Structure 1
Amino acid sequence: MFRQLVGEENGEEIMPGTLRKRRSSGLSAAFVASVTEPGKYYDGKGVGLFLRVDEDGGKYWIQRSSYGGKSHDIGLGSYPVVTLAMAREQALENKRMIRSGKDPLLEKRKSQTATSFEAAMDRYLEVKSSEFRNDKHRKQWRATLTTYALPKIGHLSVAAITVQDVLRVLEPIWLEKTETAKRLRGRIEKILDWATVSQFREGENPARLKGNLSELLPKAAKVAKTQHFPALALKDARRWWLELTKRQGASAQALQFLCMTTARSGEVRGMTWDEVDLEGALWTIPSERMKAGSEHRVPLTDEAVALLNAMPRLARSPYVFFAKQGGMLSDMTLSAVMRRMQESEVEAGRPGYLDERSGRAAVPHGLRSTFRDWAAEQGYDHILAELALAHRVGSDVERAYRRTDMLSRRRDMLKDWHKFLAGDLVQT
């Protein structure tokens, strides 16, 4: 499969004993992934591309090229960040550049000097925009980077960013906002990976965790503080529900529907009429709108169907619960309803609707915890309750063998949940 080459390779004199191997049909992705023997492995595609395997197992793409009468080695990045297909594409682009009279090395240095982290972030988000689950996810990416990363490293060239630079971003929030810091680190890593593949930087990724930042930061699992959304206490649920049903407007109705279906705020606010089967009493949320990325079926009780039938429809808007101009309700509208309900309680001299653990005022997302507590108190199977909340339950194998989403049983459970809220079912 291989033959040892002694003589010349692309004009380079090769000393006897030097390891030079060429695949007669070119390299393959499987070979690149499995090869461990140190040496240089040429691709044989006519662009001077070869894979260098070091003694420590590191794999790097190199292109041997000639410009201005001189031979040069151009680094194309390390494997697996740069795949075989990516390396071939970049090597071919460099070949075209030489033919047009440009020096790939000079162009590479120019791009590295000119590309800041902020510019790389913008380019990355533009390229990857179609991969985000929704616009909210995209905005979250930009918001965390803008808030925490850009003030520290936004102006730096991606080629010059070091581990210490990344630490300056992460250390101030690693202990207090660990979850945010973890996501931020991953996002910085992805942007710098993209910059490497795009030839804007070289070498190891300074934002890599394993064997890198993990040695300099406390383990996230040891310091992370689980943040619970303030939940409505079960003892206050009926009184809260009665007050809510007296309120008018799309936001109040959306909050009612959220509570009846145990859905998330974004799922309800983004709900469109084509997702709803009123006759079948079923709401099917497409995968792209779900946190877990899987389609979710929500059984609708008679009360939920009645609420939807009473909703006005706007010809120019697809949304069930729409804002004044026909767009989707903002993420603050449902929270505002609960905040006003709490303010009314306080004005009346009552403590209001507080989370029993934290003492903070309940919020819409906390209603899911209220439902989960009720389901546990009523003795409902935990898998049934978790499926109602669209949580991933069990291992991949368990989910593969679970061929039902227990729709009928979930419908009965949600009927009992509404009866409890309305005061028709005694809490056991």
Structure 2
Amino acid sequence: MPHKNIRRPERALSARFVETVSSPGKYFDGYGLFLRVAKNGAKQWVQRITIRGKRCELGLGSPPAVPLGEARRVALENRGKAMLGGDPLADKREARAGLSFAEAVEKYLGGKLSEFRNEKHRKQWRSTLDTYALPVVGRKDVADISVQDVLRVLEPIWQDKTETASRVRGRIENVLSWATVAGHRTGDNPARWKGNLSEILPKPSKVARAVNQPALALGDVARWWTALGEREGMAARALEFLTLTAARSGEVRGATWDEMDLGERDKIDETDKTPVATMAPSAAQGAVWTIPASRMKNGRSHRVPLSPEAVTLLQAIPQLDGSPYVFFSPRSGMLSDMSISAVMRRMQEAQAKLGGLGYLDPASKRPAVPHGLRSSFRQWAAERGYPRDMAEIALAHFIGSEVERAYQRSDMLDRRRAMMADWAAFLRGEAAEGDNVLKLGATR
């Protein structure tokens, strides 16, 4: 492990070391790049470089906003520029003159928005800064923004909108880190949390706990499923598919026909009127929905085994010419998130008109929402006795540490196929074979 004030060979540092080191000192990497750790724990990237015969130091920002890889890239770029007779220090000083925070946001997002996985995230990134940060510090030069400026943005919303405020803080930090690397400011990042704002603001976990999405009570699932089947429209069918697959709304709304492999079910004669519930187990064998990594929240492709009910649902949906989407909108585009939520809201309103309580979350007593159906599935899987890892994989959650995931590469597709068929039976209100066995054992 590197020790302070000792020059190390090229690329000697590691991301893990940069994250955990706390002892004051200078930790060298390569191309003159080193990490300076102050007595208060603040960290800064610095590059020693010779420019036109004169040795000097350049500040390159602070981790974690400026990771090791980015610091190395900028250091190598500066070195090459100096070797060709350029002056990266003068370029940095020139770039630093008169850039407002609003302008920095535009420049930063100009290069970063393409990295975000979905349009909703891109809009949220910009809208939170437009709503909370720009009215306060938008006109201020990034070189002059201080901790007090950041606090003026965060303190009014830290107590009541804690999660949003925490995201705004991180986004301000990213913009200011970019401004530092681009040469528009120097010094520590005033929006940094650890060892900085953490000493002033209460921890987000102490201020407000995350509110879970209202889930459907397992005792209400069968009657809710029956009521959903009576609903007309593409959004209702999308909600059915979402429930059968335990997928996220965005994954279902963005589903395209080329992601679907309906397996042997494609070959069944359309004149076959056998009810899907009594279909032979092999009828839908191999039916899989493969969601590409670009559409997944975790950035990894995900395979979903399709039950006979899911396959039958897909086969009943017409394929619209000119639209790749399975569940298309009236204008042939992708359904909106609100369209699926509206189906559940109308189902709740219909129950309320009849004098019933509707479909409420057992804990919060709030009406269930589409995303809460994933929680209902997870609870059912746990009570049904399915292995934790298998249920988590079905929800496309990461399992264990990075090391564990490196060795556990199976997605348990065949085992999950049986689980999803069992889930479909539960939705219909039918007791699965395992449930009967458990009840018999309890009677004995």
TM-score (norm 1): 0.81
Cα 1:360–1:145 shift into 2, 3 Å = same
* Alpha-carbon offset, residue 261 of structure 1: 0.4
* Alpha-carbon offset, residue 28 of structure 1: 3.5
Cα 1:74–1:386 shift into 2, 3 Å = closer
**Are positions 1:83 and 2:66 aligned together?**
no
**Are positions 1:412 and 2:423 aligned together?**
no
* Alpha-carbon offset, residue 228 of structure 1: 0.6
Q: Which residue of 2 aligns with 1:328?
A: 334
* Alpha-carbon offset, residue 208 of structure 1: 1.3
Match runs of 1:204-219 below 5 Å: 204-219=188-203
Higher Rg of the two aligned structures: 1
| Rounded Cα–Cα distance in structure 2 between residues aligned with 1:282 and 1:334 | 23
TM-score (norm 2): 0.78
**Are positions 1:285 and 2:288 aligned together?**
no
| Rounded Cα–Cα distance in structure 2 between residues aligned with 1:357 and 1:316 | 45
Cα 1:343–1:112 shift into 2, 3 Å = same
**Are positions 1:156 and 2:162 aligned together?**
no
| Rounded Cα–Cα distance in structure 1 between residues aligned with 2:7 and 2:297 | 47
1:127 to 111, 133, 149: 111
Q: Which residue of 2 aligns with 1:147?
A: 131
Q: Secondary structure in 1 aligned to 2:337?
A: coil
Cα 1:95–1:228 shift into 2, 3 Å = same
| Rounded Cα–Cα distance in structure 2 between residues aligned with 1:111 and 1:94 | 17
Q: Which residue of 1 aligns with 2:280?
A: none
**Are positions 1:30 and 2:12 aligned together?**
yes
1:243 to 227, 235, 245: 227
Q: Which residue of 2 aligns with 1:316?
A: 322
Q: Which residue of 2 aligns with 1:60?
A: 46
* Alpha-carbon offset, residue 104 of structure 1: 6.4
What is the identity, as a one-letter code, of the residue corresponding to 1:199? G
What is the RMSD of the two structures over their aligned residues, measured on CA atoms? 3.4
Q: Which residue of 1 aligns with 2:204?
A: 220
| Rounded Cα–Cα distance in structure 1 between residues aligned with 2:360 and 2:61 | 54
Which range moved further: 409-418 or 82-91?
82-91
Q: Which residue of 1 aligns with 2:361?
A: 355
**Contact 1:231–1:370 at 8 Å: present in 2 too?**
yes
Cα 1:38–1:207 shift into 2, 3 Å = closer
| Rounded Cα–Cα distance in structure 2 between residues aligned with 1:37 and 1:234 | 55
| Rounded Cα–Cα distance in structure 1 between residues aligned with 2:220 and 2:209 | 27
Gap runs ≥5 in structure 1: 1-20
**Are positions 1:176 and 2:164 aligned together?**
no
What is the identity, as a one-letter code, of the residue corresponding to 2:75? A
**Contact 2:95–2:182 at 8 Å: present in 1 too?**
no
| Rounded Cα–Cα distance in structure 2 between residues aligned with 1:357 and 1:58 | 46
* Alpha-carbon offset, residue 91 of structure 1: 6.0
**Contact 1:60–1:79 at 8 Å: present in 2 too?**
no
| Rounded Cα–Cα distance in structure 2 between residues aligned with 1:292 and 1:200 | 33
Gap runs ≥5 in structure 2: 1-5, 264-285, 440-444
Match runs of 1:386-397 below 5 Å: 386-397=392-403
- Per-residue CA deviation, residues 325-373 of structure 1 (Å, 9 max, x unaligned), is 2211111110011111111111222221111211111110011111122
**Contact 2:48–2:55 at 8 Å: present in 1 too?**
no
Cα 1:192–1:338 shift into 2, 3 Å = same
**Contact 1:108–1:199 at 8 Å: present in 2 too?**
yes
| Rounded Cα–Cα distance in structure 2 between residues aligned with 1:364 and 1:216 | 38
| Rounded Cα–Cα distance in structure 2 between residues aligned with 1:228 and 1:217 | 24
* Alpha-carbon offset, residue 397 of structure 1: 2.7
| Rounded Cα–Cα distance in structure 1 between residues aligned with 2:84 and 2:296 | 44
| Rounded Cα–Cα distance in structure 1 between residues aligned with 2:25 and 2:404 | 42
* Alpha-carbon offset, residue 137 of structure 1: 2.1
**Contact 1:52–1:62 at 8 Å: present in 2 too?**
no
* Alpha-carbon offset, residue 226 of structure 1: 2.0
Q: Secondary structure in 2 aligned to 1:159?
A: helix
* Alpha-carbon offset, residue 252 of structure 1: 0.5
- Per-residue CA deviation, residues 178-216 of structure 1 (Å, 9 max, x unaligned), is 332322222211111111111111111111112111111
Match runs of 1:37-48 below 5 Å: none
**Contact 2:45–2:59 at 8 Å: present in 1 too?**
no
Which has the higher relative contact order, 1 or 2, with Cα contacts under 8 A spaced 6 or more apart?
Answer: 2
What is the identity, as a one-letter code, of the residue corresponding to 2:77? E
* Alpha-carbon offset, residue 408 of structure 1: 1.5
**Contact 1:77–1:203 at 8 Å: present in 2 too?**
no
What is the identity, as a one-letter code, of the residue corresponding to 2:144? A
Q: Which residue of 1 aligns with 2:240?
A: 256
What is the identity, as a one-letter code, of the residue corresponding to 1:123? K
| Rounded Cα–Cα distance in structure 2 between residues aligned with 1:379 and 1:37 | 51
What is the identity, as a one-letter code, of the residue corresponding to 1:345? Q
* Alpha-carbon offset, residue 401 of structure 1: 2.6
* Alpha-carbon offset, residue 89 of structure 1: 2.4
Match runs of 1:267-278 below 5 Å: 267-278=251-262
